[in-house]
Amino acid sequence: MIEADDEAGLKLALTRDPKLISAKSILGDTLLHEACREKKLWAVTLLLEHGAAPNAPGDLGFTPLHCAVRDCPVARAEPVVARLMKHHADPSLRDASGADVFQHVVDRHEIWDDPSRIVALLRGH
Q: Does residue 1 sit within a domain?
A: no
Q: Look at the chain and report how many structural domains it folds into.
A: 1
Q: Does residue 33 sit within a domain?
A: yes
Kindly give the interhelix angle for 74-86 and 41-49, rounded to the nearest 10 degrees. Answer: 10
The CATH number of the domain holding residue 100 is 1.25.40.20
Range of the domain at 72: 7-123
Among candidates 100, 27, 23, 116, which has minimal Cα distance to 65? Answer: 100
Q: What pLDDT was estimated at residue 116?
A: 80
pTM for this prediction = 0.90
Tens digit of each residue's pLDDT (9 = 90 or more) over 23-42: 999 999 999 999 999 999 99
Q: Does residue 59 sit within a domain?
A: yes
Arithmetic mean of pLDDT, 61-84:
89
Average pLDDT value over all residues in the chain: 90
Q: Are 57 and 36 in contact (CB under 8 A)?
A: no
Which ranges of the chain does DSSP label H, i.e. alpha helix?
7-16, 31-38, 41-49, 64-68, 74-86, 101-107, 115-123
